Amino acid sequence: MSHLWLPFTQMRHFDEQARSFVRGRGTMLEDARGRSVYDAVSSIWTTIHGHCHPRIVEAIARQAATLDHATLLGATNPVAEELAERLCAIAGMDRAFFASDGASAVEAAIKMALQYWQNAGQPHRTRFVRLSGAYHGDTIGAMSLSDIAVFKSRFGSVTFETQGYDATVPLGEDVAAVILEPLVQAAAGMRLVPKEAYERLKGVEALIVCDEIATGFGRTGTMFAFEQIGVSPDIVCVGKGLTGGTMALSATLVGQSLYDVFLGAPDAFVHFFHGHSYAGNPIACAAALASLSLFEEEGTLERAQGIARRSRAHLESLRAHPLVHDLRQAGTMLGIELRKNLGPSSADALYDAGHFTRAIGDVIQFVPPLCSSDEEVDAFFESLSTVLVLSAVEG
């Protein structure tokens, strides 16, 4: 009997034998029964270059033998320094504040925005604005910025109130920051956000936070999705694919003018009052550096664009299917919304056919590793078509 308690899982109905992954290689995961399945959800949007990529494995091993960990509280290390520089260069930002999971990067962004306005002499700016259907993580602050009832309604007594974004209403003087998921709201079932929704945010005084935790690192065809929406963020949160999907590492990136407001004498107490034990862990940073290099060495963005094109053609062929309710795509983030409560059973049937994905309600996700071959993309959609044919016959 296992002692594990899994996230977002009803343990009474969980069969440990059915889903236990023991090995990963490239796009494939091997389960405890010796079956290899295609990781069609990139282990919840984290895996970029495939599992156990030798280049990242080697970087992790080398770093683990050199400097495993050293705190970033009042100290630095060359690996975190180099990663901060590379990340800022690709995101067009100036400073990187490291944490571990995505939600921790969002918590840092919330507190940065609040303290920024205090330091800048506008302490009345305390309100946060978010999109409808938003999801930013499961910690209290990130949950407060979210707008999906099933994730947050039980915890209303500890979350703070946030305001839904309305493009037709000017932002109030009390708004500290607007947080956005650029292009696509993944946890809402790959819900697409029309680009016009962001139009009104140009030139506003409130800070703009782009949550790139799901969309960053090539998922939507560009390194970051905000590049496609014409918004210049003040803060960018990254996580998930930052290490290529190998280690927990996230970062909150900011521009110089925001950072400067935190500078002063030590006893002025304007420095950022926030931090975590494993911030900027050198092993995780080494993994991230190797992952960023692989983008250049393996042409990852071009491969992502190729996967997106091939997937779009498959998606179109599903459009007229009677069991398909809606189809959504932002690059390599695809949601196939089915009718008749077919989500979870279809995901199970896909597993039996050799493809691992999860359903969000009735939305089957296809978020493939960015090293997937044409044949793997084709095979996923062929299996999905077969699953739908069988569902139609049974239904």
Ligand X SMILES: Cc1ncc(COP(=O)(O)O)c(C=O)c1O
Footprint of ligand X (CB under 6 A):
101-103, 106, 135-137, 181, 186-187, 211, 213-214, 239-240
What is the closest distance, in whole angstroms, from the C-beta atom of residue 248 to ligand X in the complex? 8
Three-class SS string for the chain? CCCCCCCCCCHHHCCCCCCCEEEEEECEEEECCCCEEEECCHHHHCCCCCECCHHHHHHHHHHHCCCCCCCCCCCCCHHHHHHHHHHHHHHCCCEEEEECCHHHHHHHHHHHHHHHHHHCCCCCCCEEEECCCCCCCCCHHHHHCCCCHHHHHHHCCCCCCCEECCCCCCCCCCEEEEEECCCEECCCCCEECCHHHHHHHCCCCCEEEEECCCCCCCCCCCCCHHHHCCCCCCEEEECHHHHCCCCCCEEEEECHHHHHCCCCCHHHCCCCCCCCCCCCCHHHHHHHHHHHHHHHHCCHHHHHHHHHHHHHHHHHHHCCCCCEEEEEEECCEEEEEECCCCHHHHHHHHHHCCEECCEECCEEEECCCCCCCHHHHHHHHHHHHHHHHHHHHHC
What is the closest distance, in whole angstroms, from the C-beta atom of residue 260 to ligand X in the complex? 27
What is the closest distance, in whole angstroms, from the C-beta atom of residue 100 to ligand X in the complex? 8
- Tell me whether residue 143 or residue 327 sits nearer to ligand X (CB atom): 143
What is the closest distance, in whole angstroms, from the C-beta atom of residue 188 to ligand X in the complex? 9
What is the closest distance, in whole angstroms, from the C-beta atom of residue 352 to ligand X in the complex? 26
- Tell me whether residue 40 or residue 323 sits nearer to ligand X (CB atom): 40
- Tell me whether residue 274 or residue 321 sits nearer to ligand X (CB atom): 274
- Tell me whether residue 100 or residue 115 sits nearer to ligand X (CB atom): 100
What is the closest distance, in whole angstroms, from the C-beta atom of residue 154 to ligand X in the complex? 18
Cα(5)–Cα(271) distance, rounded to whole angstroms?
A: 38
- Tell me whether residue 178 or residue 213 sits nearer to ligand X (CB atom): 213
Cα(393)–Cα(395) distance, rounded to whole angstroms?
A: 6
- Tell me whether residue 214 or residue 350 sits nearer to ligand X (CB atom): 214
Among candidate residues 115, 91, 86, the one with its CA nearest the CA of residue 253: 91
What is the closest distance, in whole angstroms, from the C-beta atom of residue 95 to ligand X in the complex? 20
What is the closest distance, in whole angstroms, from the C-beta atom of residue 224 to ligand X in the complex? 12
- Tell me whether residue 43 or residue 118 sits nearer to ligand X (CB atom): 43
- Tell me whether residue 41 or residue 323 sits nearer to ligand X (CB atom): 41
